[in-house]
Chains A and B, each alone.
Chain A
Amino acid sequence: MELLVASAIGAMTAGGIYLMLRLRTFPVILGIAMLTYAVNVFLFASGRLTVGSAPVLREGVTNYADPLPQALALTAIVISFGMTAVVVMIALGSYLGSNDDHVNDPAEPDAEDRT
């Protein structure tokens, strides 16, 4: 299971980073979304991976899953979801306004200065 989780995190991170290095906003946003998935799983795994153990203290149970990373991952999911929604809206506004969805600055101010 460790191998599966670790390679899932690795694959998503790699894909996320690759997409983030693209020029246009849509792949970049997808890349950031993939990175946030990767980090959520990573957060979840930071409390050690256990199968079938209870997160809440009870009588007669000796194996526990750490509940804190689950709470942290929940917070992180909510925040990243909200942030992704915000960036989609802003990127959409920017695209509809200037009819161009490149992430980098347009090159025009320089050309303007020389004339």
Chain B
Amino acid sequence: MTHWIILPVMLPAMVAPFIILAARYHMSIQRVTTVASMIALIALAAGLAWQASDGTVTVYRLGDWAAPFGIVLVADKLSTMMVLLTAILGLIVSLYAIGSRWDEQGRHFHALLQFQIMGIMGAFLTGDLFNLFVFFEILLIASYGLMIHSGGNKRLRAGVQYVLFNLLGSTLFLFALAAIYAETGTLNMADLAERAQMVSADETVGLRIAAVLLILVFAVKAAVVPLHFWLPSSYAQAPGPVAALFAIMTKVGAYAIIRVYTMIFPPELEATAGLHTDWLLPAALISLALGMVGVLAAKTLDRLVAFSVIGSMGMVMTAVALFSEEAIAAALYYIIHSTLAAAALFLITDMIRQGRADLRLTAQAPVPGHLLIAGLFMTSAIAMAGLPPLSGFVGKLLILDASYASPLMPWVWSVILISSLIGIVGFARAGSTLFWKARSIETETAPEGTPPSALSAIAVGGLIALLIAHTVFAGPAYRYTAGAAAQLFAPEAYIDTVLNTPGKLSPKTEEN
């Protein structure tokens, strides 16, 4: 039953037009449809993950055209894990948007959310680089709409920056794809993996440029320094639930780097040797440090959280750049953790925004629902800063452990440990200003605004519960990510399944 693989893309693609066409003026129908489709997506994604968990790679040929000619979707452990994560995050974000009534403050929130989910799912599942570009565009164009949802001058301005930066990224992506096609004559990832090996050592100029351009594009998505400038203001200005959903978007970049640079341009490949250790690792370490310094230096809570996202992406990319099997497994474990923690923090920031004049880190009267929000903030800040007992600590430990064998171990260890300390100070300062100092301020009037609704609290509580589950079941989770990493480092099964599954045009004739 390989047809299941297309469903995570098809379901939102069909629900979104339904919402626009049939339920345009019926908010309750939109909400029910969104939640129902998200639950269905989780079920689908769980099914796919279960199917892939024994190491089988399933391939879906669109239009039944055989692999190098047609577009394929591929479900292996890594893809299905990311799809499941997206589905869970999608459900939580839609619950929060409903609970906090964000979806009523502009038009087409639910439809755009569906399109965004469709793009993300497609980007995780596709086995074709040009198709990856198309899905990137789908998720971006939906995110442009979501980013400026409910309008406002500041948000529009941040939206312009966000759109321009990503348009530039898309153009670079096309340059990279064209260069790869000119060099190898294919854009299918599995086929590319074979052909990149065949390029002779003294003719690698084009391929080398393409590989660097491609990593730049993915680094823009993953907000790796020095390509992170779009992130702080767009994430800070985006509506709360949207920013929480964007937590998975940076991971799309990380996913693409992991996928392309393990399979097509592995560190052993002479054409791209040194790209990981010489360039990606320093950039990742600088992002980690810069993110955490940003956490300490931020003057508003929304920017603080945005910088913590940069920091955690730096952590992920550090592990990715080490490029051993354990390091990738640790990176995948940390990706799950960082998505959940960042989403929780953005939602909590939004809860605080409801009850305060602004998000500046100054003492103001307590927000409604003070105790609950403070508790949630503390838990997710502990997770994000990587303190025990939550999964951030486990993830960091795994990354430190994986870097032990690397010759750059002193650098990695010192940057991770020192930046963690800075991050902890930053979060502690923010938390104490927002919640402790607030208690010392006497207010004459009752606090304005309403406490967060039960549904919003449930959504954030769900994220926290998932974080705790990710900690408690760290063993099984790590075994799964280790399995995914093992599959990435032995791509023969993937390549074989993609290229040798029969379809139309199957007796393979060489193109070009």
Residue of A90, A104, A105 with most partner-chain B CB within 10 A: A90
Q: How far is the CA of A40 from the CA of B174 in the complex (A)?
A: 8
| A98 at the binding interface (Cβ < 8 Å) | yes
Q: How far is the CA of A94 from the CA of B162 in the complex (A)?
A: 13
Cβ distance A53 to chain B, nearest Cβ, rounded Å: 13
Is B167 touching A32 in the complex (CB atoms < 8 A)? yes
From residue 176 to 202 of chain B, which have CB atoms closer than 8 A to chain A?
177-179, 181-182, 185
| B445 at the binding interface (Cβ < 8 Å) | no
Cβ distance A105 to chain B, nearest Cβ, rounded Å: 6
Is B134 touching A75 in the complex (CB atoms < 8 A)? yes
With A46-B179, A69-B181, A72-B177 already in contact, the answer to whether A87 and B163 are too (CB < 8 A) is yes
With A66-B512, A86-B163 already in contact, the answer to whether A79 and B181 are too (CB < 8 A) is no
Residue of chain A at shortest CB distance from B131: A75
| B46 at the binding interface (Cβ < 8 Å) | no
Is B233 touching A32 in the complex (CB atoms < 8 A)? no
Q: How far is the CA of A113 from the CA of B359 in the complex (A)?
A: 12
Is A86 touching B179 in the complex (CB atoms < 8 A)? no
Is B170 touching A113 in the complex (CB atoms < 8 A)? no
| A68 at the binding interface (Cβ < 8 Å) | yes
| Residues of A with C-beta under 8 A to B160 | 25, 87, 90-91, 94, 103
Q: How far is the CA of A20 from the CA of B151 in the complex (A)?
A: 25
Q: How far is the CA of A109 from the CA of B358 in the complex (A)?
A: 12
- A–B complex contacts, Cβ < 8 Å, 21 sampled: A32-B171, A43-B178, A43-B181, A46-B182, A48-B182, A69-B181, A72-B177, A72-B178, A75-B134, A79-B170, A83-B137, A83-B163, A87-B160, A87-B164, A87-B167, A90-B148, A90-B156, A94-B153, A97-B153, A103-B161, A109-B300
The 4 A-B residue pairs with the shortest CB-CB distance in the complex, in nearest-first order: A94-B156, A46-B182, A46-B178, A97-B153
From residue 10 to 28 of chain A, which have CB atoms closer than 8 A to chain B?
20, 25, 28
With A32-B171, A66-B512, A83-B170 already in contact, the answer to whether A39 and B153 are too (CB < 8 A) is no
Cβ distance A4 to chain B, nearest Cβ, rounded Å: 17
Cβ distance B158 to chain A, nearest Cβ, rounded Å: 8
Residue of chain B at shortest CB distance from A83: B167
With A82-B141, A113-B360 already in contact, the answer to whether A43 and B164 are too (CB < 8 A) is no
Q: How far is the CA of A32 from the CA of B163 in the complex (A)?
A: 11
Is B156 touching A109 in the complex (CB atoms < 8 A)? no
Is A103 touching B153 in the complex (CB atoms < 8 A)? no
Number of A-B contacts (CB under 8 A): 102
From residue 30 to 84 of chain A, which have CB atoms closer than 8 A to chain B?
32, 35-36, 39-40, 42-43, 45-48, 66, 68-69, 72, 75-76, 79-80, 82-84
Q: How far is the CA of A68 from the CA of B182 in the complex (A)?
A: 11
Q: How many residues does chain B have at the interface if contact means C-beta atoms less than 8 Å apart?
A: 34
B129-157 interface code vs A (CB 8 A; 1 in, 0 out):
01000100100110010001001110011
Is A42 touching B175 in the complex (CB atoms < 8 A)? yes
Number of chain A interface residues as a range: 35 or more
| B101 at the binding interface (Cβ < 8 Å) | no
Residue of A48, A68, A86, A94 with most partner-chain B CB within 10 A: A94
| B368 at the binding interface (Cβ < 8 Å) | no
With A90-B144, A94-B153 already in contact, the answer to whether A35 and B179 are too (CB < 8 A) is no
Is B156 touching A97 in the complex (CB atoms < 8 A)? yes
| Residues of A with C-beta under 8 A to B161 | 103-105
Is A47 touching B144 in the complex (CB atoms < 8 A)? no
Across the interface, B153 reaches (CB within 8 A) one of A79, A83, A98, namely: A98
| B504 at the binding interface (Cβ < 8 Å) | no
Residue of chain B at shortest CB distance from A102: B157
Cβ distance B505 to chain A, nearest Cβ, rounded Å: 12
Residue of chain A at shortest CB distance from B164: A28
A81-115 interface code vs B (CB 8 A; 1 in, 0 out):
01110110011011001100001111001000100
Across the interface, B181 reaches (CB within 8 A) one of A29, A35, A46, A82, namely: A46
